[in-house]
């Protein structure tokens, strides 16, 4: 029996996630939205790419949560997108209401699912989803670390003129200006980036990574990033659906790991069947711990603002 992935929200991120999931043949896809015709039209269009690309999964567009029943993974993308000059925090109040409603309906139909939350601000929205769903912590995951790490790796690859796939780098902490791109662990095929780039070059790349989302928002002017966020969510879903035990930086609910408890922070986790198999801990430097503490403070303010 094929796996089932439901994507809540058929905007740019949701539709792009459906595209990536279909082309990878991960399972049958349901694209759900409140706007009549939009998910149906996008699903029909994507289905017609099957003969060209070679995928054979079912792709359904729907306005009815009943069509999501029995999903193995639910990817939450619905919500308002950022506009120029708008911070992730500006989105919080409006998107809390959307996430609460969508998650309650989705989990009612798929109580055994793994939730992957993409809606911004992610750290607050994954907290909202966790509280509303009543699912165990290993089955509620925020996406941002995979996205932020992809941006970090891309910028490093450009600076070094090497293949992006050969760059290994990770971003921890909040999805926002206080995120922690780890410079000391970044490497190219095992060669430390600190041996290949000057300190000021690395610092500039770290800063660009921290504001990478805003850079795209400023260029697009009417929306935010969607190609890489959609793919990042599907990369996580694939690890869950195939039980591949991939190590990825994700927003996970911490219960003492890295010295933090009671909140979601981006940390490396092992993803497999059922969601997070374990959180991978390692010693942080004093500077890195300070950055993580800064992330925690911002996340806790966001948590309080949700009212949940």
The set of catalytic residues is 175
Neighbouring residues of 272: CB distance < 8 A, sequence distance ≥ 6: 239, 240, 243, 244, 245, 246
Q: Name which of 293, 9, 275, 281 is nearest 143 in CA terms.
A: 275
Q: How far, in Å, CA of 10 to CA of 60, rounded?
A: 11
Q: How far, in Å, CA of 216 to CA of 211, rounded?
A: 9
Q: How far, in Å, CA of 111 to CA of 191, rounded?
A: 44
Q: By the 8 A CB rule, do 166 and 158 touch?
A: no
The enclosing H or E element of 277 equals: strand 275-279
| DSSP bridge partners of 5 | 29, 73
Distances in whole angstroms, Cα of residue 44 to Cα of each of 41, 60, 157, 180, 196: 5, 8, 37, 40, 48
Q: Is 121 helix (H, G, I), strand (E, B) or coil?
A: coil
| DSSP bridge partners of 269 | 248, 279
Q: How far, in Å, CA of 59 to CA of 31, rounded?
A: 7
Pairing of strands 4-8, 28-32: parallel
* Peptide linkage before 218 cis (omega within 30 of 0): no
| DSSP bridge partners of 73 | 5, 114
Token pair for 161: 């003129």
């Amino acid at each position: 029996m094929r796996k089932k992935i439901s994507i809540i929200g058929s905007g740019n991120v949701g539709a792009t996630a459906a595209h990536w999931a279909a082309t990878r043949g991960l399972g049958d896809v349901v694209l759900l939205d409140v706007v009549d015709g939009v998910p149906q039209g996008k699903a029909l269009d994507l289905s017609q790419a099957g003969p060209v690309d070679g995928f054979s999964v079912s792709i359904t567009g729907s306005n009815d949560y009943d069509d999501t029943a029995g999903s193995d993974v639910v990817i939450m993308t619905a919500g308002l997108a950022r506009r120029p000059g708008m911070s992730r925090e500006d989105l919080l109040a409006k998107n809390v209401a959307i996430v609460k409603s969508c998650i309650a309906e989705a989990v009612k139909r798929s109580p055994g699912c793994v939730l992957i939350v993409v809606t911004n601000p992610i750290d607050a929205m994954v907290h909202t989803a966790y509280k509303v769903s009543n699912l165990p912590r290993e089955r509620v995951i925020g996406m941002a670390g995979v996205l932020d790490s992809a941006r970090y790796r891309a910028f490093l690859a450009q600076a070094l003129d090497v293949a992006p796939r050969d760059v290994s780098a990770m971003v921890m902490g909040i999805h926002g200006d206080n995120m922690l791109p780890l410079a000391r662990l970044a490497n190219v095929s095992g060669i430390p980036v600190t041996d290949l780039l000057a300190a000021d070059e690395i610092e500039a790349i770290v800063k660009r990574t921290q504001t990478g989302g805003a850079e795209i928002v400023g260029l697009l002017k009417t929306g935010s990033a969607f190609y890489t966020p959609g793919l990042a969510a599907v990369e996580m879903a694939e690890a869950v659906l195939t039980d591949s035990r991939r190590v990825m930086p994700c927003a996970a609910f911490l219960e003492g790991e890295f010295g933090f408890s009671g909140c979601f922070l981006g940390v490396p986790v092992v993803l497999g069947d059922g969601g997070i198999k374990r959180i991978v801990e390692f010693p942080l430097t004093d500077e890195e711990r300070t950055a993580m503490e800064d992330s925690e403070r911002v996340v806790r303010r966001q948590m309080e603002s949700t009212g949940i």
